[in-house]
Amino acid sequence: MTIRLKTLFFIALGILVLWFLYIARTILAPFVLGAIFAYIFNPVVNFFSDRARLPRVFSVVIIYLLLISLVVFLTALLTKRVLHESVELTSYIKNAITATQGQVETLPDWAKPIAKETLSSLEESKIFSVQSVFSFFPAAISRIVSLLIFLIASFYFLKEGRKMIDSLILFVPKPYKIEAEILLRKINVVLNGYLRGQIFLIAFVGLSLYIALSILGIKFALILAIFSGFAEVVPLIGPIVATTVAVIVVLLTGTANFSLSPLNAALIVIAIYFLLRQFEDYFVIPYVMGKITEIHPFLIFFAVLSGGHLFGILGFILAIPIMAIIKIFLEFSLDKIYTSEKKTPIKSG
């Protein structure tokens, strides 16, 4: 009975935590991103502070300086080309909309309203307009504030990470400290594999697609590769969206090599994305993600959609690790219940 009450207590506590996170979701993003950043780079800080015997604050500052230098270098290296491709791609899309408008009247009557509404919505979503200029400033201020919160939160998490975990364990009653440490260790293994695995997948997919698309001579290969790499962060849905965007771009622009028609080039691009996805599923993800792949694909799909609906892009990103943590808690609780029932003596009549 005691175990059941404890289980109900933890379930109720989990529901309350999720309810609070849902209410505070609009202000949580920089804190969550700061925690993810700290979790990824914590081993590097530990290396500087433990092996090199540097003060932890100084180690965090070194990480910040190295990352800022890397960002500045990559920005100087890639920004000009990315901006050029973005502007050129925007002009292609505008020209395609203009060309399509003349074909709308040839569609069946039932399809005309849908096509007109789609084109009008695309036209109305102009980036440079009077409204967008006025709305830019508060949006920019909001992003600057979020960036400052992210930097402060990540600095604090990196500096005080160990103390925070030790403080949490102090609140756990003495009989359950060992169990709490076991749970934290299991959660650490899952999050460690997932977060670092995602970084590897972004780099692997982005580089692989850039090479493949460049060989085909597809315009905007760099921006498509970067977009497709980061789309890997959103499970299931991200790769589908990335493939769709790449196919649309190829149909609009064609290729520079092999004298391929836009349709043939689009089919080849679909094949490239499909084969890359299969290679990830069978060779990369099982070794990179580890135990995270033990979750059923249907549950992953449900978790991703639910997370995106409730928390937006952060929900898409964190859906799988949160589900993995819930799975760990459930397995641990069920194992405790099963072990307790086995130890309970059966009373004879």
Cα dihedral 171, 177, 182, 183, rounded to 10, equals -40
Between CA 89 and CA 83 the distance in angstroms is 10
Q: Where are the alpha helices (DSSP H) in 24-129?
A: 25-46, 56-101, 112-124
Q: What is the pLDDT of residue 206?
A: 93
In the predicted structure, residue 1 carries a pLDDT above the cut 60: no
Mean pLDDT computed over 205-229? 92
Of residues 90 and 305, the one with the higher pLDDT is 305
Tell me the per-residue pLDDT of 66-80, one tens digit each, with 9 for 90 and over.
888 988 887 777 777
- Checking if the pLDDT of 31 tops 50, the result is yes
- More confident: 201 or 113: 201
Better pLDDT: 315 or 102: 315
Structural contact between residues 200 and 283, judged by C-beta atoms closer than 8 angstroms = no
| Residue 209: per-residue pLDDT | 95
Percent of the chain with pLDDT over 70: 75
pLDDT digits (tens, 9 = 90+) for 125-155: 544 344 443 444 455 566 677 778 888 888 8
Neighbours of 118 (CB within 10 A): 13
Per-residue model confidence (pLDDT) at position 225: 93
Distances (CA, A) of 7 to 167, 265, 331, 337: 23, 56, 12, 9
Distance CA(210)–CA(229), nearest Å, equals: 10
Q: Which of 1-5, 25-29, 197-201, 296-300 has the lowest mean pLDDT?
A: 1-5
Which one-letter DSSP state was computed for residue 254?
-
Tell me what pLDDT residue 290 has: 60
- Looking at residue 310, what is its pLDDT? 77
Handedness of CA 49, 54, 55, 59 (dihedral sign): negative
Rounded CA-CA distance 83/71 in Å is: 16
Over 84-103, what HEC string results? HHHHHHHHHHHHHHHHHHCC
Confidence of residue 212 (pLDDT cuts 50, 70, 90): very high
* pLDDT at residue 210, as a whole number: 94
Determine the pLDDT at residue 129. 43
| Residue with the larger pLDDT of the pair 325 and 85 | 325
| Percent with pLDDT over 90 in the chain | 9
Q: Please say if the pLDDT value at position 55 is more than 80.
A: yes
Count of beta carbons in the 10 Å neighbourhood of residue 80: 10
Task: Supply the pTM of this predicted model.
Answer: 0.69
